[in-house]
Each structure stands twice: as C-alpha cells, then as structure tokens.
Structure 1
Amino acid sequence: MADVSSADDRKLLRRLWLMLAVLVACRLVLLVFAPHTDPSESRYAEISRKMVETSDWITPQFKYGVPFWAKPPLSMWMSALGIGLFGANEFGSRIFIFLAALAVLWLVAKMGARERDPATGLAAAVLLMGMPLFFYCSAAVMTDLPLLLGITMAMAGFRFAVRDGSRGWGYVFFLGLAVGLLAKGPLVGVLVMPPLVGWVVVTGRWRQTWKNLPWFTGTLLMLLIAVPWYVLAERKTPGFIDYFIVGEHWKRFTVKGWQGDLYGHAHATAPGMIAVFVLAGTFPWCLGFLALPFRRLRSLLEWAKADEGGGLYWMLWALWPVVFFLPARNIIATYPLPALPALAMLLAGIAVPLVRKGVGVGSPHALNPLIVSACGAVMVWALGVSLVWTDHAPKFSERELVRRYQKQHQTGDVLLYYGLRKFSAEFYAEGNIDYASSADEVEQKLAAPGRLFLACPTRYISLLPEPVRQRFAAVGTWGPETLYEEIPMLPAMAGGHQASTPKP
C-alpha cells in the first residue's frame, strides 16, 4: 500500500478533492436550475407529483387513476418525498436522487481506499462523477440511479464480507439487493449474481462465501423489505406481476420493437449497441484504458488474481452488464450505468500509479491533463445547453411555456395541448392542463366556458380550419412549441369547416 502521508500524495489528494468539488457543484447547479425535459425525466417527476397529490404511495399513476406498472416505486418514492418537503420543483424532485448518487460515490471511494489507498478511492469517485452518463443520472428523476445504488451496495458488501469477514458488510449486500428490487425489480439479481458466481468459481472462495455472508437472516431481511410492496401492488391492481415480470423483464429485451409497452414504445436497437453507449457514457475517461500496462496475457492474469482477486472482481463487474445487454434489441443509453463504478475503479487503479511516477501527457491514463481538460469541456457544454443555449439542448421542456401561461392565467382559463402528451407541462402546471388530439376537439374546447390557451407544435396550427385559427393569437414560441391565446370571436365567424388531425 502506498505511503499516503507523502507530500506528493497530499498534493494529489488536494487536486482530486478540488476536481470532485467542481463536478459536484456543477451538478448541483443543474439540479436546481435545469428544467425537467420530455419524455423520461418529466414522466417520473409527474408520477411522483401525482403520488404526493393523491396520497397513493402503493401504485404509481401514469394518469389519474391509471396504474404505472413498468417500474417499482423506489425512485418515485424518493422524488415524492422531496416534493412533499420542498415543493413540486426541480430541487424537490431531484434532491434525494442526488443524495443516493453521493452514497454511490462514497462507496466507490471506500472500495478504492480499502483495496489500494485513499488516493485511488478518491480518484475512482472523481472519474465516476465525471463520466457523462453518471453525471446526468446522478440527479435525474429516473429509476437508474437507485438501481445503481443497490448494485453498488451489493457488490461492495459482498467483497468486504468475503475478503474481510465483516458481518455488517454481509448485511449491506442483502440490503443492496432489496434496494434494487424496489428500484427496478429482479434485474438487480441478473446484474449482480453472475459476476459474483464467476468470481467465486475462478478464485475458489466457496468456503469464505458460505461462512462470511448471513445467508439466512440476510435473505429474510431482503424479503421483508422488498416483498410486501409487490404483494400490495398486485392486490391493489391485479395483473401487475404478469406485466412487470414477463413483459418488462423478458419481452422488452428479446422481442425487437416489442408492442406490449403500455406507457410508450420499445426502443428498437441493433444488437451490440450497448458497446456504443458504454463508450459515449464514459468519454473521455474511457481513453484511460489505452494506458493498460499489460502486454501479455500472463501479466493480466497475475494482476487479476492479486490482492485476493480484486482485479478480477472489478473486471467481471464492469464486463457483465455489457455482455448481458449485448444481444438485447430494446435498450437505451442509460443501460451501461451499472458497469460504471467498476470501470472507474479499474481506471483509477491504472492512473494513480502512473501519476505517482510523474507520468503526464506522455501516457493516455485517465488523469492525463488532456483528458481532464476534455472532461471540463464536456461539463461546460452541459451547463451551457441546459441553462443558456437551451434551443440546442437534445431534449426540450415545457417549463417556460407553462410559466408564461401561469403569468397570464385568470380564473377559469384552460391550458390545452394539441398533439402529443407533454409530461413536463403536466408537472409544471401541477396537472392542470387538458389535451386534444384533433381539430374537432380543439373546437369543442373553444365552445366551453373560459378562455382557452392552446399549446402545440408551430406547424400544427395550420391543421386547424381557418375560422378556428382566427380565434387565436400567438403569445410566444419556446423550442418547437407555440402558445396561443383565445381572442373574442369575430361576428363573421363561419360555422362549417373541414377538420384535420395532426400527424406528429
């Protein structure tokens, strides 16, 4: 173990703490000021808001009275708790997700410190926080970060229980599985158990695994935490188990373009796309693997078996999610997230010894100043498109449009969205919006009492008949959406016309 009391290591630790502080501060700024965007984050934020509004903490609701069966409720509980404490805003809905991310960073730093030294642990936390995928998910209202917390707890707990004989860490392993079951269901077992079994088989640590983990009491604890909600959810809305287990955990990944999704559409992708998502989600830090010191298979095997199989442990953890999702036909860019803590550990294990040797830009390790600068550029871009150049953001939010409506709103006014559902509009309007899917519906809403505000893609207004268009005046445009305000009906307004239906 390195002498962390040396002046060079103290200097390295100060630099690492500064880097971590800057990354965390940047994410906090985005947590508070960046809007919820459509469709994913705003959907979970709105489901969480409905949970608080309706006081239904058992069944998340996709629409009022329509159960959301796609995911267990842990992430929504976390966001709903924040909304209940701090209000239906960005901070309230994201803060407990962010605290879970800080817990993941602490676990990664703890693992690195116990495996090597504090500098390696802190470097792993910095690299993880700087990975674009983790940086985004660390405060995004989605299920991915709570699942990652469960996986990281399980992997850290197992490692320390088997290696050090710690009974407490053994219970952390089972607590992590319980967290994963409530975050995303049985997928946690699929992502955790195979690399652990592979590690035990290769290292032959059967006896320590059986002896050092509280298998009976730990399993009982896991079931007592996770199973009651599943029972209550099935009793409250029968059919949940069949849809969630068979549909979400089998057909979603094996049937290309699966049509059974009740809440959107399956994301059809070519097999192997997970590799592209890994590279994109870890760039530029992934370039650090170019500095691998192994030139022969024998050297790699010796490294993997050293430190009680530590290298092999992190390698199996990092590779398994990629291998598992490699043939999948329906995945999204967040799926590599479970591999990122282990990748950060591996990168830190390569980089820190090279930094101690004084290797700078001459080696492409993860702490190379050029790679660190590239990460800084990515952070500046993320801040810029989220807060300043919002028209260039990859996803849009209805926040500013809804705020403009609320500024002009009077008692009896109605905000009507013409076209696709906008979860961010529902969140910021606290559910007080209506929808129309055709010009006929828009005209029917015009005939109802109260002033009508119409929000729709700018091109949709041309689909309305001329007499209906004359009833609206543009208020403003935000991204692809324009807000229109109803004006008094002209005396010459005609009655008959041909209606059109939007084709998004």
Structure 2
Amino acid sequence: MENPGLTLDNKSHRWVIVFLGGLVMCRLLLLLFAPMWDPSEARYAEMSRVMVQSGDWITPHFAPGVPFWAKPPLSMWASAAGIACFGPNHFGARIFTFLAALGLLAMVARAARHEFQSTAMGWVAAALLMASPLFYYCSAAVMTDLFLVLGTTLTMVAFRLALETSSRAWGYGFFVGLSIGLLAKGPLTLVLAGPPIFVYCLFTCQWRQVWQRIPWFSGTLLMLLVSVPWYLLAENHTPGFLDYFIVGEHIRRFTVAAWAGDKYGSAHSKPIGTIWLFALLATFPWCCGLLAAPLRQWRHFRSWLMAANGRCLYLLLWALWPLVFFTQARNIIATYPLPALPAIALLLTEIYWRRASLAKAPRWHPLHPALVGVSATVVLLSVLFPFIKPRFAPGTERELVHCYQAHRALNDRLLYFQKRKFSAEFYTCGQVGTIDSLDVLEQRMQGPGRLFLAIDAQYFAQLPPTVQASFSLLGHWGKQSTLYQQRNATPHLTIDSP
C-alpha cells in the first residue's frame, strides 16, 4: 500500500507559494530589464527580429544570405511572434519563452500532484525547478533549450500519466511532446526520451500496458504531420539543410573535438565528463538534497526505486540519461543538463514527501532552510546586479549602443571592427556593420557623416597612428567594446532621436 507521505501545514504551504511567486516575479523583472547577452541569446533574438523583418518564417538567417541550419525554428518562431506583437524589445523577444517556462512548471506540478496525491507537493516541485539556477536563467532567455525541455518534459510526463490513468489525451500528449522537441532541437528529442522509457518498461514489464494505452499508430501519424512538413520545406527552401543538420549537428558535433564544420561560431571543446560538473552547477544548491535519498542499503534503495509502479526508477532514468548520453560529448555548453532538471525536481520532491514514513525524519532534506537561503541569495543578487552595475553588465553592447544613439546625427554610422556583436544588431534593428579589414575601415571613414567605431582597446592600439588620430574616445563599458567617434567629419545638423 502506498505510504500517504508528507503534507504541508498551511504556513509551510504559504511559504512555498511565496517562494515560487518571488522567483517568478524576479525572473519577470530580469526579462524586462536585463540586456540581451552575447553571443547566444542576442544571436537568437536578432535572428527572430530578422525573421519578422524579412517575412521568411521557414528558414532563420544567421546573416544576409546565410541560412541558419543549426537548429529548427520553434524557439525563434516564439520570439518572432513576440516581436511581431510587441516590437523588437526585451519583452517581445522573451515573453513567449517565459510563458512556455510557466507551462513547463505547471506540467511538473501536475505530475507531482498525481504522483503524491498532494497539491502542496505540486507547488514544491515547481518551486524546486524554478529555483534551479540553470532553469531560472533559461526560463526567459531567447534560446532553443527551453523549448527542447518543454517537449521532453511533456513526453515523459504524458507517457507516465498515460500508463497510470489510461487517459487517451495523455497518450496523444506523448506524441505532441515529441513534435515540440523535433521542432525545437530535432531528433535529439527522440534520443533523450526513448532510452529511459525503454529501460523503465524493461524493468517493470509493462509492455502490454504500453501497447494498449499509447496510441502508437495515430499518435505517430500526428507527430509526423506536425513536424515533418517543416523539415521538407526547409530542405526545399535551402538545399543542404538536412545533411548539415542531421549528420553534422547530431553526430559530428558530439564525436569530433573542436568540430570544424560549425558554420555559426566556434565549437566548444570540453574534457569528457564535463556534463556532470555542469549538472552540479545547474542544480546547486538543491542537488545537495539528493544526499537524503536512501542510498546506503541496496534493499532500501531497490524498494524506493520500485515503489508506486517504479516511480523513482522512472524519474532516476529520466534524470540520469541526458547526463550519461553527453558524458562522452566534447562539444557541449552549460545548458546541456537542462532536460534532466524537471526529473531532478520531482526526485527531490519525492525525497521530501517520504520523510513522513520514517520513524525519525532526518534533519537534512531538499527544503532545508540552508538550501532555501542560498538559493534566495543567488536569485536576489541576479536581480540586483544589473541595476547596481548596469555599465558593467557582461556580454552585451546595450550601453554602447545607447551612447551611440545619444550622440548620432543624420548619416552617422556605427561600425564594429573584428568582432560581430548580435546584441548591437538587435538594439539598432540591424543598422550596424562589422568589418575585419583596415582597408575597409579607411574606405568607410571617407563616407558621409561621422563614423562611430566599436573596437576592443587592444585592436585600436594596433591601428596606424593616422587612423587613431582620426578618432576620439567616447566611452568604455567593462567587457564591452570601446566606442570611438570620428573627429574630422562634420555631422548633419538634423539630430535623430535615440
């Protein structure tokens, strides 16, 4: 018989809701006021803006005439829809990603309510997920990862609930989740969801239930009808897409160190096993709550895994497989553990819920005040920093662009030397150029109006003295480029407003 587990008293219940609400509100503030970060977030935001401007909603473009084949466009569709509705600003670019994150939180809460028959545990699971540093960041960042996790989470939650409830709707939800993942990140969705489900069925011997309760034929047809048309349109629109995306992005990227085929940046070569370090950082401090799991005795651990129709086995496989899969990968970034985070949040909720079954509840648990305090401090600092030190916000050109807009006149131009900055393109709606040649720079200096040059100080020092003498320093903003204004050009008298 299933242990009734732990429920929260009214005071604790209120504090969990307040904690979750505070996290959501803090992230909403960052959505509105935090700058677009270079390179990843600003890159996807700028491609989304260009999608709206060009009217090409089939293939995103990395640069004029250069299609972006690295990812399917679901996340960019979402950002482009926001930009089309609200304009090319922080809110427009990020709002639909944020709404998708709220939907993901609701999905995890729904799974927890079903598993533990407790609304309070649903709030706990959602709070633990939102308080994970990686999810907190990605919940309103213009990136593909959040939509991948939306797809994999719906897939995993729907599969479990379809088996538990015999619901036809959840059975189709399984395939809708796969469709979302295929349009967000591609076949990786199948790789992340398939093996955990197979191993779970292998250990629990539920093959008959899986066959009867999942609408395999009609569901697969639904998945193909939703996702395949875009792949065919994309290949027809820009031939060569399928070869680059399927073979390059899904095989060579993870097996070839410093993969030279990356068309859109540099490969991220890391030591084998780095994904586990990323996972610890992504879930800190909440990962410390996993120490309360019954790991010391195999008998207790096996019983814990198989209770409630293998609930913890399912969650553990869901949490571990993305990390195991990427262990051998060399080209990875810090967001790769994200698909494991919903399962980790549910595991932590389960550990906390089962404390009531112990004769003497341990002091250490996933909602220990020390963990809550550390998490709240990290969130508070993340909100306050952009307001306290806006000039030194790392990885964005927002302040430089604002300075240029405050000084510019008609026919003035902003030019970046050596390094392309997507945030500058986003904030100027594409009215910025990038060059890497001294000859081109000297040609541009002869054009009408003044030239505003954004360049790293080390590169400026290497320019010929005659070129350096043509510019005066306007400002420097921490890790951003330094902005120089051309001296010997006379601006037009009509001033554009910023």
TM-score by length of 2: 0.94
Aligned twin of 2:134:
133
Aligned twin of 1:195:
196
Look up the equivalent residue of 1:36 and give its one-letter code.
M
Instruction: Note closer, same or farther for the CA distance 1:170–1:477 as it changes in structure 2 (3 Å cut).
Output: same
Indicate the SS of the match to 2:485.
Answer: strand
Shift of 1:10: 2.5
Shift of 1:423: 0.5
Pairwise mapping of residues 384-399 of structure 1 onto structure 2 (< 5 A)?
384-390=384-390, 393=393, 395-399=394-398
Aligned twin of 1:322:
323
Aligned twin of 1:47:
47
Which moved further from structure 2: 382-391 or 452-461?
Answer: 382-391
Question: CA offsets, 1:126-151, max 9 Å, x none?
Answer: 01000000000101100000000000
Alpha carbons 1:291, 1:363 under 8 Å: kept: no
Question: CA offsets, 1:106-138, max 9 Å, x none?
Answer: 010000110002222211110100000000010
Aligned twin of 2:160:
159
Which moved further from structure 2: 102-111 or 457-466?
Answer: 457-466
Aligned twin of 2:447:
448
Aligned twin of 2:493:
none
Pairwise mapping of residues 75-474 of structure 1 onto structure 2 (< 5 A)?
75-116=75-116, 117-354=118-355, 363-390=363-390, 393=393, 395-474=394-473
Question: CA offsets, 1:251-308, max 9 Å, x none?
Answer: 0000011100000011001110010000000000000011123431111111111111
Indicate the SS of the match to 1:62.
Answer: strand
Structure 1: stretches of 5+ with no match in the other structure: 491-504
Whole-angstrom distance in 1 between the partners of 2:217 and 2:280? 40
Whole-angstrom distance in 2 between the partners of 1:396 and 1:223? 39
Matched residues, number = 487
Shift of 1:391: 6.0
TM-score by length of 1: 0.93
Whole-angstrom distance in 2 between the partners of 1:127 and 1:47? 32
Indicate the SS of the match to 1:447.
Answer: coil
Instruction: Note closer, same or farther for the CA distance 1:45–1:359 as it changes in structure 2 (3 Å cut).
Output: farther
Aligned twin of 1:10:
10
Question: CA offsets, 1:175-202, max 9 Å, x none?
Answer: 0000000000000000001000110111
Alpha carbons 2:270, 2:332 under 8 Å: kept: yes
Look up the equivalent residue of 2:22 and give its one-letter code.
V
Indicate the SS of the match to 1:475.
Answer: strand
Shift of 1:390: 4.5
Whole-angstrom distance in 2 between the partners of 1:358 and 1:391? 55
Whole-angstrom distance in 2 between the partners of 1:354 and 1:189? 35
Alpha carbons 2:109, 2:126 under 8 Å: kept: yes
Instruction: Note closer, same or farther for the CA distance 1:166–1:433 as it changes in structure 2 (3 Å cut).
Output: same
Shift of 1:9: 2.8
Identical positions, percent: 53
Whole-angstrom distance in 2 between the partners of 1:347 and 1:457? 46
Alpha carbons 2:319, 2:340 under 8 Å: kept: yes
Alpha carbons 2:78, 2:96 under 8 Å: kept: yes
Alpha carbons 2:392, 2:477 under 8 Å: kept: no
Instruction: Note closer, same or farther for the CA distance 1:309–1:4 as it changes in structure 2 (3 Å cut).
Output: closer
Whole-angstrom distance in 1 between the partners of 2:243 and 2:4? 55
Instruction: Note closer, same or farther for the CA distance 1:375–1:443 as it changes in structure 2 (3 Å cut).
Output: same
List structure 1 runs of 4+ shifted beyond 6 angstroms.
1-6, 355-360
Look up the equivalent residue of 1:40 and give its one-letter code.
S
TM-align CA RMSD: 1.9
Indicate the SS of the match to 1:190.
Answer: helix
Which moved further from structure 2: 91-100 or 362-371?
Answer: 362-371
Structure 2: stretches of 5+ with no match in the other structure: 491-498
